[in-house]
Structures are given as structure tokens and as C-alpha cells.
Amino acid sequence: MIEFIVFFAFAAVAIIFALVVILHRNPVVSVLSLVASFFSLAVMYVLLEAPFLAVLQVIIYAGAIMVLFLFVIMLLNLQHREEPATRPVQQFLGYTGAAVFGIALVYYIAKYAVLKLPGTPFLSDARRVGISLFQAYVLPFEAVSILLLAAIVGALVLSGRGAVAQ
Amino acid sequence: MIPTHWFLILSAVLFAIGVCGVLTRKNGITIFMSIELMVNAVNLTFVAYARQFHQLHGIIFVFFIMAIAAAEAAVGLAIFISLFHHRETIDVDEANLMRW
């Protein structure tokens, strides 16, 4: 019973803060709302018996990536900048299109994806994930490390104000 | 235990909100944040199905998606900084050329 209450409370938090992200004009408020939304998704991972991913969600998403967004917004001094209004037809098509898409998705999930729960719990803790990462998935793991290195170099080259070209 | 399709519905709603943000906003960083929202909605689906089918692959996939999202955020934000230095704006309607 208690986990249903937790689920609905944090689902509501996730959806409300996600709406704040796309509706608020100030990007700093958007980033902080996105952090709150990601925290409630971490609670969802705990409810899904994936505590390792919940910790990763808090550390990587809510911690590292969102701090990166916040730094860039503050570096570019965007929080005082007024965003120009979108064209009304684009607003209308965007909102109705996304609403129709969302309603259709929810309808078909409720119609076709209602599955019977397995009886036994499935705990995916750090030990099992680590063993799997370093046995079956060792090649993708190394590829991701190379990808992260490439991303570091790419970010330095792109934001280096032409210093590399000189 | 909470049924899997409730998590799927939550994920669908979050994904639709992200789609709405991408379609209606002009600020490049807000569009980027909407994309992160969609990525997280898909992650929730992966974890929900991993529990449903007792497969570890979904969890591992989410791990890799998180690493790739970090790389994507670093490169994307560097592009926005570079764009801001050239154009003094991050309005995506102003930046519709691949090079300048």
C-alpha cells in the first residue's frame, strides 16, 4: 500500500516539474525543475528494484549533467534574456500534436501492454550489473569510454573560441 | 509490487511533455532539456521492462544511455557556447545554417 502512495506522489512530482521545465520562461527555473523531475525518476528506479540505477540517476543526471546546464546558462548570462514568442500556429500545432501523441501512447499502453507481474522480485544491484558489465558487455563498455574521451576533446575544440585554429 | 504498465504510462506522459517542449520552445537550451526529459522517459521504460521480464539487459542499456547522454550534453552545450560567441543568441530560429 505504501509503495502505491509513493508511486503516485512522485509520479505527480515528476509530471508537474516536467511541465514547469517546458512552460517556464526562465531557463534557470527550468533546469532546477528538471533536477526535481530526475530525483522523482530516481525514486521510480528504487520502486522498480534497481537501486544502482537510482544512485546513478542522482549522481550523473541530477548531479553532473544538470550542473553542466546550469553553468552554461549562467556563463552565457541567459537568465535575464527575454525569449521571443513562438508563432501562434507553431504553438497550437506543437501543443495539440504532443497532446494527441501522448494520449494515443497512453491509450495503446493501457490497451495492449498490461502484463501480468512476475511473482518473484528481480533485484538488479551494483554487484550483478558490474559482473554483467565486465563479462558480457566489456566491449561496449570500452567503446563508451572512448566515446567519452571523444566528447571531452570535441567539447574543448568547439568551445575554445578559435584558440585551436591559431 | 506496482504493475509495469503504470510506469509505462508515466514514461509516455513524460515523453509527450518532452515532445511538446521540443516543438514549442525557441530557446536552444530548453529544447535540449526537453530532449533529456525524453531520454529519461525511455530509461524508465527500459527499467520497467527489465523488471517485468527479469532481464539485466535493460539495466545495462540504461547505464550506457546515461554515459551517452553525458557525452551528448557536453558536446551540445559546447556547440551552444560556440554559437553564442558567433551570434550573441541561442534562439534556434536564428541559427539555421550549418556553418557561417
Where are the domains positioned within chain B?
4-87
Where residue A77 falls (left for φ over 0; alpha for ψ -120 to 50; beta otherwise) is: left
Question: Is residue B73 scored above 70 in pLDDT?
Answer: yes
Q: How confident is the model over A134-156, as pLDDT tens digits?
A: 998 999 999 999 999 999 999 88
Q: How confident is the model over A119-139, as pLDDT tens digits?
A: 787 878 888 888 988 998 999
> Which among B6, B23, B75 has CB closest to A97?
B23
Q: How far apart are CA A76 and CA A74, in angstroms?
A: 5
Percent helix / strand / coil, chain A, rounded to 5: 75, 0, 25
Please check whether residue A18 touches B, CB under 8 A: yes
Q: How far is A118 from chain B (nearest CA, A)?
A: 6
Q: How far apart are CA B48 and CA B55, in angstroms?
A: 10
**What's the mean pLDDT when you consider all of chain A?**
88
Q: For the residues A8-19, what does the mean pLDDT come to?
A: 94
- Total Cβ atoms within 10 A of residue A16: 14
Give the architecture (CATH level 2) of B4-87: Orthogonal Bundle (1.10)
Question: Is residue A20 scored above 80 in pLDDT?
Answer: yes
Question: Is residue A85 scored above 60 in pLDDT?
Answer: yes
Q: For the residues A33-61, what does the mean pLDDT come to?
A: 92
> Which among B3, B20, B70 has CB closest to A22?
B20
Q: How many residues does chain B have?
A: 100
Question: Is residue B68 scored above 90 in pLDDT?
Answer: yes
Q: For the residues A80-96, what does the mean pLDDT come to?
A: 81
User: Do residues A82 and B11 touch, judged by C-beta distance below 8 A?
Assistant: no
Q: Which amino acid is at B42?
A: V
Residues B90, A78: C-beta atoms closer than 8 Å: yes
Question: Is residue A115 scored above 90 in pLDDT?
Answer: no
Residues A50, B47: C-beta atoms closer than 8 Å: yes
Q: How far is B97 from chain A (nearest CA, A)?
A: 16
pLDDT score for A1: 84
Question: Is residue B65 scored above 60 in pLDDT?
Answer: yes
Q: For the residues A86-107, what does the mean pLDDT come to?
A: 90
Question: Is residue B100 scored above 60 in pLDDT?
Answer: no
Sorting pLDDT into bands at 50, 70 and 90, what band is A162?
low
pLDDT score for A166: 46
